[in-house]
Amino acid sequence: MGIPTRPWRHRRARDTRHFLSPAVRRLAGELGVDATGLLGRGNEGRVTKDDVVAAGGTRTQPLTPARDEVVPFDNVRKRTAAGLLASKRTAAHASAVTIADYRAIDEARRGAHLTALPFVARAVIDALREYPELNGTLDADDALTLHRDVHLGIAVDLDFKGLVVPVVHDANGLRLRALAEAIRDVARRARDRKLTPDDLAGGTFTITNPGASGTWVSLPIINRPQVAILATDGVSKHVVADDRGHMRIAPMGHLCMSFDHRAVDGAYVGDFLARVKEIVETRDWSTEL
């Protein structure tokens, strides 16, 4: 289940100039620099490491400890580790990857102040209606329960201290903006340590978003007893060719899925990913806004 994530800015919709990557945030802390007030020179005005270094001068402390240090796992890390290890020991992990063109999403979200995550989540939810075996949970007796509603788990990184997966219940009943707000809400409460037990229960499918940190391809660990998890990786510009061989530049991003091979097979997952890709690329997203 996971790579610790910050779902496609699923912490909050924000001006990209104020977004700080984990590496930049860490460096700013080391140098004692308030990076949120800097004028970034990176892509779309984002603050870069060079901006932080220029503002902070020379490092006042080393990047690594001066001596070896033993860091015991706290309770959050212990629970994260136990859950991930149990999943790897139990589920028959297999993976599939596709790449999608994000032009339609980028055009729609540009004026809507939304990240790409809720668009992909909406595409996943709609595709699960056609592929219900991926919206299932597998019990100890190898019986697959197919769930009528999609209770969408969103993997949230807790400042590199562990991982939790709060659930947006009945996500299939939410339109795009409501879904985006629900994702922001559970992510915010997760980082503020304000989740209730009900917020963590009942998930049927999980999305994790390592792409917020710039990853290229990720193979997440299944959030057991669910049978599948989707990772949304970073979107970047690529030169692609259309059916007629005409070249163009498009924002492309990988959609990477891990699944429990005990419950479903690769062909089924491949068709599901193809359907998600089709929705991402061809839906008129303006109708959702």
Which domains are assigned to the chain? Answer: 7-12+73-288 (3.30.559.10)
Rounded mean pLDDT, 253-259: 98
The pTM of this model reads 0.77
Are the CB atoms for 205 and 128 separated by under 8 Å? Answer: yes
* Higher pLDDT among residues 75 and 11, named by residue: 75
Q: Which pLDDT value is given to residue 62? A: 52
Taking all residues of the chain, what is their mean pLDDT, rounded to a whole number?
88
Catalytic pick from 34, 159, 265, 271? 265
Question: Which pLDDT tens digit goes with each residue over 190-223?
Answer: 999 999 999 999 999 999 999 988 899 999 999 9
Residues 80 and 143: their CA atoms lie apart, in Å, by: 25
Inform me whether the pLDDT recorded for 6 exceeds 60.
no
Catalytic pick from 106, 261, 271, 284? 261
Q: What percent of the chain has pLDDT over 90?
A: 67
* Higher pLDDT among residues 276 and 26, named by residue: 276
Q: Strand 228-241 to strand 205-208: parallel, antiparallel, or no bridges (unpaired)?
A: parallel
Residues 168 and 173: their CA atoms lie apart, in Å, by: 10
261 among known catalytic residues: yes
Six token digits for residue 18 = 């104020």
Residues 240 and 75: their CA atoms lie apart, in Å, by: 46
Residues 230 and 36: their CA atoms lie apart, in Å, by: 31
151 among known catalytic residues: no
Inform me whether the pLDDT recorded for 7 exceeds 50.
no
